[in-house]
Structure 1
Amino acid sequence: MSGKLKIRQALKECLRKFILPAAYHIYCIRYSGPDQRLIVFADAHHQKFPEDMQLLKEEMQRRGYRTLELVHDFSEISFGTSVKSMLSFLKYYAQAGLVVICDYYLPVISVKKRKVTKVVQLWHACGAYKKFGYDARDDLISVKDQNMFRNFDLVAVSSEHCRKVYADAFHLPLDKVQALGVSRTDRYFSEKFMADCCSRFFKEYPEAAGKKIILWAPTFRQNAGEGILFGAEAIDRLEERLSPEWFVIRKVHPHLEKRMAASNCRIPTEQLYAAADLLITDYSSVIFDFTLTGKPILVYAPDREQYEKERGFYLKLEELPAKVVTNGEELAAVIERGEYKTTSEKYGEFMKNQLQMCDGHATSRIADYIESIRKE
């Protein structure tokens, strides 16, 4: 861990242990009780409102709830500004009947919240692929003395198979994790959404018309604060080798996009699946979203053994609905020979195990469940 990151972690620890709990206590005294019709959607990792929470926000608004968005990318603003944002959140944390997040969010876990205020975690990844939470050393590099997820009343996951994995990774009782589906994935079942995504892509990249589209979407290595890109050289060689009938989209993880010019496309990743004919990824959870399209997937995993040792997986790569390759030469040869498709049986088994509840109706199920726990 770099010196800069160590300083940032020390400051966050001071906030978590002293400043944020004190501020929340004051706000709870000021505001006698939460407004059960107010929902706060909060995030510290995006500049714009996250797609992971958009459909649920719209659904809750349709049901008559008032919503408030508190979204800032803490990595892009000063430490002082991020502290102000956290304090602003705590003011509404003390007033809201429900808080919805989709990633780690320090202010949520730093206090002993009111029991009547419910916290819903719409985790940003489907399924259970690479290890996370308390199962991964790089995921939680601070916060040793309390459960980072103790305030969660609901974690919505993509299948029954995933419930225990998430409960263990978050150190939560199993009943706090429910197989309701992942709200974001409802969009992939909308013909209009997928058609609009295709239209936007070919409008912005007309040179791709009539070609086979490869989407390269890798995850990062190490922790999010110091993540590095892996595999770009192989993609460079692949582009040089492939015939002109192919068009390669490079879309790296958002944490990496903030620090390097490695993507060649401005469109959000989830809006590229409709146009792509083939996904190349590694250990990224995009593999789950893309599986819902039924299109072929290649897993390029040259550092598989090292990654498994340092991070670890919940499943074997052979269980994925994808062909796994471990070097750049094999990657190019498989594409050239058209050997990248997998069997429908393998897709079906993977869908059953990992994406059982991603059926286009996840958002309404999550909203129904929220309304049921609000009455507790």
Structure 2
Amino acid sequence: MNKITLIITLLINFLFYVLGNIIPKSKTTWIFGAWYGQKYNDNPKAFFKYVNEHHKQNIKTVWITKSSDVINEVQKAGCIAYHEKSLLGIWHQLRATKVIICQSLHDDVFSPCIGKKTQVIQLWHGIPLKKIMFDAFSEKTEQKNIFGRFVDYLSPYNEHRNDIVISTSTLTQTTLAQAFRVEKEQVLTCGFPRNDVFFEKANKAEKGPFKCIYMPTFRGGIASECDLFEAYGFDLKTIESQLIKNNIELTLRMHPVNKPPVQIVEEIKNSAVIKLDAGNDIYQSINQYDCLITDYSSIYFDFLLSNKPIVFAPFDLDEYKTRERSLYFEFEDVTLKPYCYSWNEIVERLISLKEASIDDEYKNEYRALRDKFHEKPNGGTSPFSAKLFGYLNSQ
């Protein structure tokens, strides 16, 4: 973008920003956005659905996105969705009294339309193990030239702003207050709306298979650069025979760039008990699983609410600890042993868990870890969403 085009864009956006600060707000209009405007999922989706299902008569909810696919998905569900720069999308953003996001204001919605009188509710997307936001950013400020300062002056809406941040416990309240550089009183310990799923009754046959899901953390490289399968003894035929023998199903949910080697993917296509899952929203199905297998993915913090076993398989733990120095917690202090360092150990552990071989020490450590990261919910099928709504509706 050349300077002339940039200046024109900045002036147009600044006009929207001025309008956003002078147009009266509608107390009953709340807008939602998530994941750079490209997805309909995570905490904003769960809370959006809750408000639509339980408070539609009092609150007008509008999903804001950059994606036509998301618009179609939300509208098919009978809800309202607009492109962030459409006339109706802009109008609702200018009028909204609250905006609910999980990344940042300028990522998830059209931030020039969000005036100072609109309350920004940051739902984030997980309990962090690695440092995030200002804890991860460099404290050094880059000296900008006159034009750079002029651009900043005309785009105040690009600054990080979060009026309310949500957390899951007193511990995470402190962590997130520090990460977002807000007062502790601005961090509400209400729990994540997406975790309401763990309080819904799962549709599962009484004598069905023991369903397990493997969800390793994202790694910055293609599959051949971070082989989590063959390098750690993943022999499909051997594993498959053991799973079939013990009535266990295994789902592999990988990040697109970290999928298994091509030959394993091809073999899995014909497997009766091993499959790949690349669905958009894991929280639509996570409660159907009897066990989670992971290494460093923060989803295990959420899964603690299921009271179902978690198998930690940190194949490259020594390398990980050397590489990831910016952590809020020591890995060993916030995970459950025994660790599994190969696929043979994982399968043995799954068989043991399937037979309900869980000792009291593991149960006690599990309970202590869960209580450390989650406040006890008040009950009901939507305890976290209900608590968040009660707070926001009273503002």
TM-score by length of 1: 0.72
**2:339 corresponding residue in structure 1:** 324
2:300 partner letter: I
Name 1:370's counterpart in structure 2.
Answer: 392
CA–CA separation in structure 2 for the residues paired with 1:39 and 1:302: 44
Per-residue CA distance 1:303-333 (angstroms, 9 max, x = gap): 3333334433322333324532344454445
Q: Which amino acid aligns with 2:390?
A: D
Q: How does 1:166-177 map to 2 (within 5 A)?
A: 166-177=176-187
2:172 aligns to what? 162
Task: Write out per-residue CA displacement over residues 209-230 of structure 1, whole angstroms, 9 at most, x where no aligned residue.
Answer: 843322101221239x99x865
Q: 27, 38, 41: which is aligned to 2:32?
A: 41
Q: Tell me the SS of whatever aligns to 1:325.
A: coil
Which amino acid is the alignment partner of residue 43 of structure 2? D
**Higher deviation after alignment, 243-252 or 357-366:** 357-366
Amino acid corresponding to residue 375 of structure 2 in structure 1: Q
Q: Deviation of residue 180 (structure 1)? A: 1.0
- Structure 1 segments unaligned to the other structure (5+ residues): 1-10, 77-83, 203-208
CA distance in 1, matches of 2:321, 2:7: 33
How many Å separate the matches in 2 of 1:56 and 1:282? 28
**Partner Cα separation in structure 1 for residue 135 and residue 5 of structure 2:** 25
CA drift at 1:50: 1.4
Question: What does residue 26 of structure 1 align with?
Answer: 16
How far apart, CA to CA, are the structure 1 residues paired with 2:291 and 2:5?
45
Corresponding residue number in structure 2 for 1:117: 118
Farther off after superposition, 283-292 or 323-332: 323-332
Structure 2: runs of 5 or more not aligned: 71-81, 145-151, 269-274
SS in 2 for 1:99: strand
Q: Does the C-alpha gap of structure 1 residues 21 and 174 become closer, same or farther in structure 2, counting only changes over 3 Å?
A: farther
Amino acid at match of 1:216: Y
- Please tell me whether the aligned partners of residues 106 and 157 of structure 2 are also in contact (alpha carbons under 8 angstroms): no
- Please name the residue that 2:214 is paired with: 216
Aligned partners of 2:51, 2:67: CA distance in 1, in Å? 24
User: What is the CA distance between 1:85 and its match in structure 2?
Assistant: 5.1
**After superposition, what is the alpha-carbon deviation per residue over 1:157-187, rounded to whole angstroms, capped at 9, x for unaligned?**
1111101111122222222211111111112
User: Secondary structure at the residue paired with 1:115?
Assistant: coil
- The aligned runs of 1:80-91 (5 Å cut-off) are 86-88=84-86
- Of 293, 298, 301 in structure 1, the residue corresponding to residue 314 of structure 2 is 301
What is the RMSD of the two structures over their aligned residues, measured on CA atoms? 4.2
CA contact (8 A) 2:212 2:290 kept: yes
- Equivalent AA in structure 1 for residue 60 of structure 2: R
**Counterpart in 1 of 2:292?**
279
In the superposition, relative to structure 1, how do residues 18 and 94 fare at CA in structure 2: closer, same or farther (>3 Å)? farther
Change (3 A) 1:337 1:71: same
Aligned to 1:3: none
Provide the C-alpha distance between the structure 2 equivalents of 1:58 and 1:271, rounded to a whole number of angstroms.
Answer: 12
* Structure 1 residue 361: Cα displacement: 1.2
> Matched residues in 2 for 1:45 and 1:236: separation?
38
1:1-376 correspondence runs (5 A): 19=9, 22-26=12-16, 28-29=18-19, 32-45=23-36, 49-61=40-52, 62=55, 64-72=58-66, 86-88=84-86, 92-107=92-107, 113-125=114-126, 127-136=127-136, 150-191=160-201, 194-195=202-203, 198=204, 210-222=208-220, 231-233=228-230, 237=234, 239-242=236-239, 243=242, 244=244, 245=246, 246-253=248-255, 264-265=276-277, 268-311=281-324, 312-318=326-332, 319-335=334-350, 343-358=362-377, 360-373=382-395
Paired letter, 1:369? Y
Instruction: Measure, in 2, the Cα distance between the counterparts of 1:26 and 1:148.
Output: 13
C-alpha distance in structure 1 between counterparts of 2:374 and 2:130, whole Å: 16
**What does residue 272 of structure 2 align with?**
none
Could you give the per-residue CA deviations for residues 53-108 of structure 1, whole angstroms, max 9, x where no partner exists? Answer: 2342244341611111113469x9xxxxxxx9554465543221111112245356
Measured after TM superposition, the shift of residue 152 of structure 1 is 0.8
How far apart in 2 are the matches of 1:147 and 1:232?
Answer: 45
SS in structure 1 of the partner of residue 166 of structure 2:
strand
User: What is the TM-score with the length of structure 2 in the denominator?
Assistant: 0.69
Q: 1:66 to 1:19 in 2, by over 3 A?
A: same
Deviations 1:246-273 (A, max 9, x none): 321011247868xx98971355422433
CA distance 1:187–1:123, shift in 2 (3 Å)? same
Instruction: State the distance in 1 between where 2:178 and 2:157 align.
Output: 12
Cα deviations by residue, 1:104-162 (Å, 9 ceiling, x for unpaired): 4535696595332001111121x332322233369xxx9x9999773211111111110
Q: 1:320 is aligned with what amino acid? A: T
* Bigger Rg, which one: 2
| CA distance in structure 2 between the aligned counterparts of 1:23 and 1:184, rounded to whole angstroms | 33
The one-letter amino acid of 2:135's match is D
Distance in 2 (alpha carbons) for counterparts of 1:219 and 1:348: 23
Q: Helix, strand or coil for the counterpart of 2:97?
A: strand
Distance 2:12 2:123 in 1: 27
Q: Which residue of 1 aligns with 2:147?
A: none
Q: Distance in 2 between matches of 1:111 and 1:152?
A: 15
Percent identical among aligned pairs is 21
CA contact (8 A) 2:33 2:100 kept: yes
- Counterpart amino acid of residue 330 in structure 2: K
Aligned length: 333
Secondary structure of 1:323's partner? coil
Structure 2 contact 169–373 (Cα < 8 Å) conserved: yes
3-state DSSP of counterpart to 1:155: strand
Structure 2: how far apart are the matches of 1:366 and 1:136?
Answer: 27
